[in-house]
Amino acid sequence: MDQLNNNIALRTIRKVNEGRFTDSHDLLAAEEPLEISLAYNSGISVGQKIISVTMRTPGNDAELAVGFLFTEGIIQDPQQIRSVNGIPFTENKILVTLNEEARPVLQRTERNFYTTSSCGVCGKASIDAIKTVSVFPVTNDDIVIDAGLIYLLPEKLREKQVSFNSTGGLHASALFDLAGNFMMLREDVGRHNALDKVIGGAFTENKLPLSESILLLSGRASFELVQKAMMAGIKIIAAIGAPSTLAVEAAEEGGITLVGFLRNESFNIYSNNRRIKINK
């Protein structure tokens, strides 16, 4: 297998079509483990702790690590971070070092050592640890956008999904402003990783909260994705696929407008429909 770049590998395959074998090539989405470690001062001593190992598509690893730590509630402010670096002489390991006075919140974040690309909360040590609390409280707002703007987002997403168009195997999370202008996109084999990369990028650039942004998800809307969006202060989520029951409940609780089944100029609004209007 030949690695073309961080995201894509070329594989020789055998195709079966109408009873015939033919040798061909296929482009595959890359998937590799990433070990995220945190170095910090506990107040008693300086320590280093492995926080998680997640299966991800290589690329934007610093954003993924920082976004993960933020959406898990472990860190709250980019000023807490001294550095984010790959660990020397190793692959697929990244170390986030906090400033001496920064104190991470680790009490409810114990995970099993391994997390698959399809599940971000399945490694949690307890049910109570699933929920995280955003540093951005739910507040009143007067955001209103036209339904026609939301119709246009999937096509804009497809235009930007370079790796997906090559492999068909990556999830995407994208940000648009309230006028529908593209802001940022990240892809990954794990839908939660793609969103952590987006939020990590915004977090690093001091662009949180993302209350003036629309989050578009290339697949379904799960509880975890809604919770991560809530942590970043996002008010509007649109998903190409279906939401889960817990996703809808979390969106309702967090004051988020949640749209699902966005396709062919139609969609469903599952919570807080006041932010979407139709201009006739």
Rounded to the nearest 10 degrees, the angle between the axes of helix 61-71 and helix 223-231 is 90
Note whether 32-130 and 145-277 share their fold: no
In order, the DSSP letters of 155-188 are HHHHHH-HHHHHHS--EEEEEEETT--EEEEEEE
Q: Which fold has domain 32-130?
A: Ubiquitin-like (UB roll) (3.10.20)
DSSP state of 87: P
pLDDT in tens, 4-43: 456 667 777 778 888 888 888 777 878 899 999 999 998 7
Per-residue burial over 58-82, b = 16 or more CB atoms within 10 Å of its CB, e = otherwise = bbbbbbbbbbbbbbbbbbbebebbe
Tokens of 207: 């662009």
Q: Which fold has domain 145-277?
A: Cytidine Deaminase; domain 2 (3.40.140)
Q: How many C-beta neighbours within 10 Å does residue 213 have?
A: 23
d(CA 256, CA 248): 9
Task: Show which residues are catalytic.
Answer: 119
Give the pTM: 0.87
Question: Would you list the domain boundaries of the chain?
Answer: 1-30, 32-130, 145-277
pLDDT in tens, 181-226: 999 999 999 999 999 999 999 999 999 999 999 999 999 999 999 9
